[in-house]
Amino acid sequence: MKTKSLGSVRKSFSPWTDPDAKPFIRFENVTKTFDGTAAIDDLSADVYEREFFALLGASGSGKSTLLRLLAGFETPTRGRIVLDGEDMTGIPPHKRPVNMMFQSYALFPHMNVEQNIAFGLKQDGMAKSERNDRIAEVLKLVKLENYGRRKPHQLSGGQQQRVALARSLVKRPKVLLLDEPLGALDKKLREETQFELTDLQYELGITFIMVTHDQEEAMTMADRIAVMGDGRILQIGTPPEIYEAPTSRFVADFIGTVNIFDGTVTARNGDRLKLETGAGHLLEVDANEESVSRARSGEKAAYAVRPEKLRISAKELTGPNVLSGEVWEIAYIGDMTSFHLKMDDGKIVRVSMVNASRESPVQLTWHDRAWVSFDPDAGLLLAN
Ligand SMILES: Nc1ncnc2c1ncn2[C@@H]1O[C@H](COP(=O)(O)OP(=O)(O)OP(=O)(O)O)[C@@H](O)[C@H]1O
């Protein structure tokens, strides 16, 4: 019930679509260079209060540097960061309403859970009774009420992760920065914790900015995702926007699996284009308003289709948007089966099929000839 109501409330959370909404955090043309090389390159972005914002990108794309700039551990070479209306330039880390939870939990091994959580509050000179109240509150939040006296080595990885989270929440920061917070957890625990963490974030009303290179994690947890590459943000959007409407080949390729067909536009009728691929396939695809203007006859274009939007058949299919090839790989993953077909030109096309029943709906084995087809609106004409 709780998840349901949370879900419906979160659904209406989209301040970035409201022109009157004021951003909570603004990165204004921020550049950070190390030895002349830009780790962050003229980056601008807005994050809203209570938002769960994920930074997703390959190793070295600048995610951690951006967090460290916001936390105040690094200083921008150019540009500035504004938080809750206040310019952060020159403000040291401990004076910022920001807390950072690190990838390595960095718990003090000789202190028990309560002492670990109390540490920051003590440093701030908070009275003991208030401290104890706060500690009890966060331990309850992370469901570790009965673990206060244990030392870190007496806890599982997941529990240690929650202690680290409790420690970063106890000071009630306005913004919590999380650098790969679930990196040390196994898949199952990680998935459980993802939901717990999003519920917790919602309940506390804290703005979260999370760094991850795990796209499923970003998709599951975030309100919006910023896809980063080479110190820049390539696209910001909700998980469905990033997945269904990538604005570039890079983002389409980086998020999930995609088949990209390169070709030449041979005809156009309204929004419908004919695209001839190098392998001689004729595709009939829909272009959106933005891409159709670029797609003139004779121009090169690329069409991107996700594997789950293709149909596969052991029987010959005809018509446009039909491709045929040899079954090269079959991966049975349980909930779905993934096929790799090798086309006559050597290109691999990926198709996935949900296993809705226990019997496979298609009888195909290695080296069989198979046909795939898709609807004209199954994919997206890419800009570059
Ligand atoms: N203190 C530093 N001195 C020199 N170069 C640095 C420093 N910190 C980061 N860099 C460089 O800046 C670039 C971005 O690094 P950053 O750690 O922000 O990437 P990332 O996206 O967080 O990567 P990862 O996923 O591997 O943690 C890298 O090329 C890195 O080598």
Measured between alpha carbons, how far is 55 from 177 in angstroms, rounded to an integer? 11
Q: How far apart are CA 152 and CA 160, in angstroms?
A: 6
Q: Which of 31, 35, 65, 210 to mutate to test the pocket of ligand 1 (most atoms within 8 A of CB)?
A: 65
SS3 of residue 9 by DSSP:
helix
Q: What is the pLDDT of residue 183?
A: 77
Look up residue 174 and give its DSSP letter.
Answer: S
Picking from 311, 259, 261, 296, the residue whose alpha carbon sits closest to that of residue 281 is: 261
Atom of ligand 1 at shortest range from CA of 61: 21
Residue 1 has pLDDT above 50, yes or no: no
Q: By the 8 A CB rule, do 225 and 56 touch?
A: yes
Residue ranges in 50-156 assigned as alpha helix (H): 63-71, 113-123, 128-141
Ligand 1: atom nearest CA of 74 is 1
CA atoms of 227 and 336, how far apart (whole Å): 27
Which residue out of 35, 43, 64, 233 has the highest number of ligand 1 atoms within 8 Å of its CB and is therefore the one to mutate? 64
**Lowest-confidence pick of 85-94, 126-135, 253-262, 360-369:** 360-369
Confidence tier at 26 by pLDDT (50, 70, 90): very high
Is the distance from the beta carbon of residue 227 to the nearest atom of ligand 1 less than 6 Å?
no
Q: What is the DSSP letter of 23?
A: P
Beta strands in the chain (DSSP E): 25-34, 37-47, 52-57, 78-83, 86-87, 98-101, 175-179, 207-212, 224-229, 232-237, 259-269, 272-277, 282-286, 300-305, 311-313, 322-332, 336-343, 348-354, 369-373, 380-382
- Which residues, listed in sequence order, are joined to residue 301 by a DSSP beta bridge? 263
Copy the structure tokens of residue 278: 């190098």
Strand order in the sheet with 86-87: 37-47, 25-34, 78-83, 86-87
Q: What number does the ligand 1 atom closest to the CA of 65 have?
A: 18
What per-residue confidence (pLDDT) applies to 9? 54
Is pLDDT above 90 for 242?
yes
pLDDT at 384: 55
Buried b (16+ CB within 10 A) or exposed e, 69-102: bbbbebebeebebbbeeeebeeeeeeebebbbbe
Q: Identify the bridge partners of residue 303 per DSSP, sorted by sequence position.
A: 261, 381
Neighbour-count burial for 125-138, b at 16+ CB within 10 Å, e otherwise: ebeeeebeebbeeb
Is 78 in contact with 30 (CB distance < 8 Å)?
Answer: yes
**CB of 244 within 8 A of CB of 366?**
no
Q: Tens digit of pLDDT for each residue in 261-306? A: 998 888 888 888 898 887 778 899 988 766 666 677 788 888 999 9
String of b and e for 33-44 (b: at least 16 CB within 10 Å)?
eeeeebbbbebe
Predicted TM-score (pTM) of this structure: 0.87
Bridge pairing between strands 37-47 and 52-57: unpaired
Model confidence over 211-228: pLDDT tens digits?
998 898 999 999 999 999
pLDDT, one tens digit per residue, over 56-82 is 999 999 999 999 999 999 999 999 999
Q: How far apart are the C-alpha atoms of 375 and 310, rounded to whole Å?
A: 8
Q: How many CB atoms lie within 10 A of CB 270?
A: 8
Look at residue 3 in the predicted model and tell me its pLDDT: 42
Q: For the chain, which domains are there?
A: 22-250 (3.40.50.300), 257-382 (2.40.50.140)
- Does residue 38 register a pLDDT over 80? yes
Percentage of the residues of the chain whose pLDDT score is greater than 90: 60
Query: Does the beta carbon of 65 lie inside 6 Å of ligand 1?
Result: yes
**ipTM confidence score:** 0.96
